Amino acid sequence: MFGLSTLMTRIIIGSLGVALLLLTFQVTSCISAKREAAQGKVDKAQQGATINSAKDAISTQSEVYQNETASRDLDQKNAEEIRNAEGANAQVAAPVDRAGRSSLCRRAAYRDSEQCRVFRTTTP
């Protein structure tokens, strides 16, 4: 039915087809492995960045807390010194009191406080 040369040709073509399929599979596997390796590096870098961001956020929050605590401590110390200073109970003339309070209320730290409400200027 088939001659020897036709059979050999079919075997060779079949072998080349199988070899081509194996080669294609190998190349596809290699490309896939490289992609996975690259994705792994990206994932690892992103995890590192996330960890560093979290550390920075914690550090920043800790510094804010420490600054707030130091500020409260200083406010308390200043208030005690003022209350305990000689003449702290002495009556101060109203214009002097108003000028002192007004000058403090121009500072950003006090500007929005309720005690400075009377010094705020309102625009029509």
**Average of pLDDT values for 90-119?**
88
Same domain, 62 and 109: no
Instruction: Please list the helix, strand and coil fractions of the chain in percent, rounded to the nearest 5, in that order.
Output: 85, 0, 15
Number of domains in the chain: 2
What is the pLDDT, as a whole number, of residue 121? 66
Across 2-31, average pLDDT: 89
| Least-confidence region, from 55-59, 70-74, 111-115 | 111-115
Residue-range definition of the domain harbouring residue 117? 93-124
Condensed to tens digits (0 to 9), the pLDDT of residues 23-56 reads 999 999 999 999 999 999 999 999 999 999 999 9
Q: Would you mind telling me the total number of residues written for the chain in this entry?
A: 124
80 and 49, same domain (yes or no) = yes
CA 42 to chain centre: 19
Mean pLDDT (whole number) for 54-63: 95
| Claim to verify: residue 58 and residue 117 sit in the same structural domain | no
Does the pLDDT at position 18 exceed 80?
Answer: yes
CA dist., res. 119 & res. 100, Å (int): 11
The residues near 110 (Cβ < 8 Å, ≥ 6 apart) are: 104, 116
CA distance 72 to 70: 6
pLDDT for residue 108: 86
Residues 7 and 64 in one domain: yes
Calpha distance 116→102 (Å, rounded) = 8
